[in-house]
Chains A and B, each alone.
Chain A
Amino acid sequence: DVKVTQSSRYLVKRTGEKVFLECVQDMDHENMFWYRQDPGLGLRLIYFSYDVKMKEKGDIPEGYSVSREKKERFSLILESASTNQTSMYLCASSAGLFLYNSPLHFGNGTRLTVT
């Protein structure tokens, strides 16, 4: 079974802090994704990566950056956390050359609160 592990289930940070959310997958998947999920807004794509050191912006990249130095690890960085970044963050991975013709495997999320 594919396992996508997010380093923290809950995180509380202060406004202005630099925040790192880590995600590791164990199935040698090419593609990795970061989503945020908010009530009434659903899942929204922040960034994705289809290869090591490659990254692409999703629908809401502002205020975020990512890093993929190794195939199994995809990090989301909040350069200067703000209260509107309080959310559930979900990491996912998928196999294959094409991004969306195979299932996404999600981690269990990190609930981030910025105070």
Chain B
Amino acid sequence: SQKIEQNSEALNIQEGKTATLTCNYTNYSPAYLQWYRQDPGRGPVFLLLIRENEKEKRKERLKVTFDTTLKQSLFHITASQPADSATYLCALDVENQAGTALIFGKGTTLSVSS
């Protein structure tokens, strides 16, 4: 069956370190992979989109990689800050019985302590 897994429900790191979040998928062949940030009580906010033919994408302190052989995306936040504490969601476009849909992982909650 098709599945998206984000490495852990929670990740705790110290300020200044690099946070690395993992998104693994099975039985999909997505053309796009997106990452979102969600704060408590708010809707998700788009961060980055990477295409299957791109290996890496960067935006300020954020970096995303997309390895279609490993079926994995890594999301890095360098020089992390307490303000980066949030839940991060990955999302893939997939074909399912409803047609093409954007399927979300359950998220990883990142806590950055000072």
Tell me the A residues contacting B by CB distance below 8 Å: 4, 33, 35, 40-43, 45, 48, 56-59, 90, 92, 99-109
Cβ of B98 within 8 Å of any chain A Cβ, yes or no, is yes
Cβ–Cβ contact B104 & A43, under 8 A: yes
The listed residue (B101, B106, B107) touching A58 by CB distance below 8 A is B101
Cβ–Cβ contact B106 & A99, under 8 A: no
Please name all residues of chain B whose beta carbon is closer than 8 Å to the beta carbon of A45 when the two chains form the complex: 98, 101-103
Please name all residues of chain B whose beta carbon is closer than 8 Å to the beta carbon of A42 when the two chains form the complex: 89, 104-107
Chain B nearest Cβ from A21, distance in angstroms: 13
- The distance in angstroms between the C-alpha atoms of A17 and B64, with both chains bound, is 45
Cβ–Cβ contact B93 & A99, under 8 A: yes
Cβ of B79 within 8 Å of any chain A Cβ, yes or no, is no
Please name all residues of chain A whose beta carbon is closer than 8 Å to the beta carbon of B51 when the two chains form the complex: 101
Cβ–Cβ contact B100 & A99, under 8 A: yes
Instruction: Pick out which of these stretches binds chain A: B15-23, B41-49, B55-63, B67-75.
Output: B41-49
Cβ–Cβ contact B93 & A107, under 8 A: no
Q: Mark B102-114, 1 if CB is under 8 A from A, else 0.
A: 1111110000000
- The distance in angstroms between the C-alpha atoms of A57 and B46, with both chains bound, is 23
Instruction: Report if A58-B100 is in contact (Cβ < 8 Å); known contacts: A42-B106, A104-B46, A105-B46.
Output: no
Cβ–Cβ contact B98 & A107, under 8 A: no
The listed residue (B32, B44, B106) touching A100 by CB distance below 8 A is B32
- Closest chain B residue to A44, Cβ basis: B104
Cβ–Cβ contact A57 & B98, under 8 A: yes
A100-B31, A106-B45 known; 6 new pairs, CB 8 Å cut-off, are A59-B96, A59-B98, A92-B43, A100-B93, A103-B46, A104-B91
Please name all residues of chain B whose beta carbon is closer than 8 Å to the beta carbon of A59 when the two chains form the complex: 96, 98, 101
Chain A nearest Cβ from B19, distance in angstroms: 20
- The distance in angstroms between the C-alpha atoms of A108 and B101, with both chains bound, is 21
- Closest chain A residue to B48, Cβ basis: A103
- The distance in angstroms between the C-alpha atoms of A92 and B102, with both chains bound, is 12
- The distance in angstroms between the C-alpha atoms of A109 and B46, with both chains bound, is 15
Q: Which 6 A-B pairs have the closest CB atoms?
A: A106-B43, A103-B46, A100-B93, A42-B106, A43-B104, A100-B102
Please name all residues of chain A whose beta carbon is closer than 8 Å to the beta carbon of B105 when the two chains form the complex: 42
